């Protein structure tokens, strides 16, 4: 059983000014099978700050954190930026959570560099800070990172695409995230590595940023098709961008002869793989990131042991059209383990 208590009006006003979703304090019952709710001062407070509260990936991450908090008798405070890239909102969320007495903060940084000073202030006050999904720059700015190996996730779909093209001359469109965002850079570079080409390879005929958004993914694909109608392979930063690309290709009657590969493993995206809209996707596991993060903060509160370094929370290539030499799992597995 859990109960949600609103924080002070001053905190809410501060959050509203910066576009941060209102912070909530979720107090979770302790003890196996107990229906009581622990709100005492002795409970461990854990903060979770995500990029947004609308992206299904972060919705699932929050669910994972809530579940882990209940199981460990912890209190969970949550906040999110109004949009992906809302660094100011995340800074305010950190300050509010530190003031509320959290023992640790789990954060998916919207801006891996700009958030570092706020994290440093929190750590200086004894707060354990763990990055989830997205590393900070430098990585040492946080105590630990629990995340997908995004370079490997990109590499898997690059290897798949290379095998699936079966010697065809590739004309590649890359639908990326945004300049300088580490997750997007790592996935993009991983794809190139897996496909066996460099950043300036002539087979890359178009590159567009999408912000990971479906509508922007569609526009980007339309622009790329205008630039080179012969595109036959599309790398996308995530599945919303992939579905936008598919919509644009279908409008041109090209959806059957262009291979789309992506990263994420959400339920909608995995279903799109099953339906043949996306050739393959690299599936990551936000529930695991959040679960391990909450447990690490509780451990720190109990015995002072800090999590450190990088913990790879896993990735699997999902496709129903397996390629020789590329390890993958089918969409039945993907749909059993998807999120969103």
Per-residue confidence in pLDDT tens, the chain, 340 aa:
333 333 333 333 333 323 333 344 444 433 322 222 222 233 899 999 999 998 889 999 999 999 999 999 999 999 999 988 899 999 999 999 999 999 999 999 999 999 999 999 999 999 999 999 999 999 999 999 999 999 999 999 999 999 999 989 999 999 999 988 889 999 999 999 999 999 999 999 999 999 999 999 999 999 999 999 999 999 999 999 999 999 999 999 999 999 999 999 999 999 999 999 999 999 999 999 999 999 999 999 999 999 999 999 999 999 999 999 999 999 999 999 999 8
Give the three-class secondary structure for 50. strand
Q: DSSP character for 3?
A: E
75 and 26 Cβ atoms separated by less than 8 Å:
yes
pTM of the model as a whole: 0.82
DSSP string for residues in 123-157: HHTT-EEEEESS--SSGGGSSEEEE--HHHHHHHH
CA 72/CA 54 separation, integer angstroms = 26
- Backbone dihedral region for residue 105 (phi beyond 0: left; psi -120 to 50: alpha; all else: beta): beta
Q: Can you read off the two tokens belonging to residue 140?
A: 């040492």
Give helix 286-303 / helix 56-71 axis angle, nearest 10°: 40
The CB density around residue 100, as the number of other CB atoms within 10 Å, is 16
CA 188/CA 192 separation, integer angstroms = 6
Number of H helices and E strands in the chain, helices first, is 11, 14
Which residues are registered as beta bridge partners of 290?
A: none
CA 301/CA 25 separation, integer angstroms = 18
CA 322/CA 333 separation, integer angstroms = 13
Please enumerate in sequence order all residues whose Cβ is within 8 A of that of 169, keeping only pairs 6 or more positions apart, or say none: 203
21 and 80 Cβ atoms separated by less than 8 Å:
yes
CA 224/CA 203 separation, integer angstroms = 13
H or E element that contains 94: helix 87-99
Query: What's residue 39's pLDDT?
Result: 27
Query: What's residue 235's pLDDT?
Result: 99
Query: What's residue 131's pLDDT?
Result: 98
166, 263, 294 from 290: Cα distances, Å: 39, 19, 6
Determine what percent of the chain falls in helix, strand and coil, rounding each to the nearest 5.
40, 20, 40
Q: Please report where in the chains the tokens 């947004």 appear, as a residue.
A: 52
118, 163, 246, 252 from 226: Cα distances, Å: 43, 27, 15, 11
Q: Can you read off the two tokens belonging to residue 7?
A: 């924080």
The residue count for the chain? 340
87, 147, 228, 232, 298 from 129: Cα distances, Å: 16, 14, 46, 43, 12
């Amino acid at each position: 059983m859990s109960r949600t208590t609103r924080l002070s009006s001053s905190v809410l006003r501060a959050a509203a000014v910066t576009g941060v979703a209102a912070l909530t304090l979720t107090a979770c019952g302790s003890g196996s099978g107990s229906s009581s709710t622990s709100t005492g001062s002795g409970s461990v407070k854990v903060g979770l700050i995500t990029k947004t509260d609308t992206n299904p990936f972060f919705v699932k991450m929050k669910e994972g954190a809530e579940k882990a908090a209940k199981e460990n008798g912890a209190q969970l405070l949550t906040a999110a930026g109004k949009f992906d890239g809302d660094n100011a909102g995340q800074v305010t969320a950190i300050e509010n959570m530190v003031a509320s007495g959290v023992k640790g903060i789990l954060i998916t940084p919207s801006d891996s560099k700009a958030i570092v000073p706020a994290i440093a202030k929190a750590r200086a006050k004894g707060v354990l800070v763990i990055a989830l999904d997205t590393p900070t720059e430098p990585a040492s700015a946080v105590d630990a990172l629990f995340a997908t190996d995004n370079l490997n996730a990109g590499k898997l779909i690059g290897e798949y695409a290379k095998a699936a093209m079966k010697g065809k001359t590739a004309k590649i469109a890359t639908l990326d995230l945004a300049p300088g965002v580490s997750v997007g850079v790592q996935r993009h570079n991983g794809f190139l590595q897996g496909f066996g080409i460099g950043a300036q390879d002539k087979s890359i005929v178009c590159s567009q940023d999408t912000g990971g958004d479906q509508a922007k993914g569609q526009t980007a694909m339309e622009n790329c098709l205008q630039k080179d109608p012969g595109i036959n392979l599309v790398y996308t930063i995530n599945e919303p961008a992939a579905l936008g690309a598919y919509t644009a290709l279908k409008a041109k009657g090209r959806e059957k002869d262009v291979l789309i590969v992506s990263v994420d493993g959400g339920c909608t995206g995995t279903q799109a793989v099953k339906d043949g809209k996306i050739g393959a996707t690299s599936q990551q596991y936000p529930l695991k990131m959040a679960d391990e993060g909450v447990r690490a903060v509780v451990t720190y509160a109990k015995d002072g042991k800090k999590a450190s370094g990088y913990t790879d929370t896993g990735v699997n290539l999902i496709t129903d059209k397996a390629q020789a030499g590329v390890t993958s799992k089918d969409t039945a597995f993907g749909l059993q383990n998807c999120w969103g």
